[in-house]
Amino acid sequence: LIAGDGPWGSRYRELAPNVKVVGPLSSAQLGDFYNALDIFVNPTLRAQGLDHTLMEAMLCGRPLLASHFSSITKSVVVSGDFGYTFSPRLESLRVALVRVIEDGKWILEKKGAACRSRAQELFTAVKMASAYERLFLCIARGNATGFDFCKYPFPL
């Protein structure tokens, strides 16, 4: 099940009936999409910033299967408790998918619950806004106010 479109959309549709492409989704449809999944798979070929789709899937209690890049492993899938990672090669993805199947539903549900808990702890709108506010205060004021806005990790 693939949501979205983009440059690979037509190639994904060629994989039917093994792959179903639902196309772009509205914000109102995203929760239903994530909740229809056993696991959220996010294969990417390059490092990127903090991926909102990973956070959305976590907030819906879905375990993750994502490419092993520090932008993902240092922020989202920081341990095996939250899902699985693979190097951006087809064989590595295949091995990871076999592991998902071997682990079974109970393990996926456990990882999904851990994802939801972590996402609620770190990735809610209020927490993210607070972290950005601290970042901007750090940039603007540094230690000049007597409070160390730049202290890491940010106390949320």
Domain count, the chain: 2
pLDDT tens-digit series, residues 32-74: 999 999 999 998 888 888 888 999 999 999 999 999 998 888 8
Whether 131 and 117 map to the same domain: the answer is no
Q: Does residue 91 share a domain with residue 138?
A: no
Taking alpha carbons only, the member of 148, 154, 153, 156 closest to residue 124 is 156
Kindly calculate the radius of gyration of the chain based on its CA atoms and give it in whole angstroms: 18
Q: Are residues 118 and 130 in the same domain?
A: no
What CATH number corresponds to the domain at position 83?
A: 3.40.50.2000
Indicate whether 37 and 9 sit together in one domain: yes
- Render the chain in DSSP notation, one character per residue: -EE--STTHHHHHTTTTS--EEE---HHHHHHHHHT-SSEEE--SS--S--HHHHHHHHTT--EEEE--HHHHTTT--STTSEEEE-SSHHHHHHHHHHHHHHHHHHHHHHHHHHHHHHHHH-SHHHHHHHHHHHHHHHHHTTTTSS-TT-SS---
> Tell me: the pLDDT tens digits for 75-131?
888 899 999 999 999 999 999 999 999 999 999 999 999 999 999 988 888 888 888
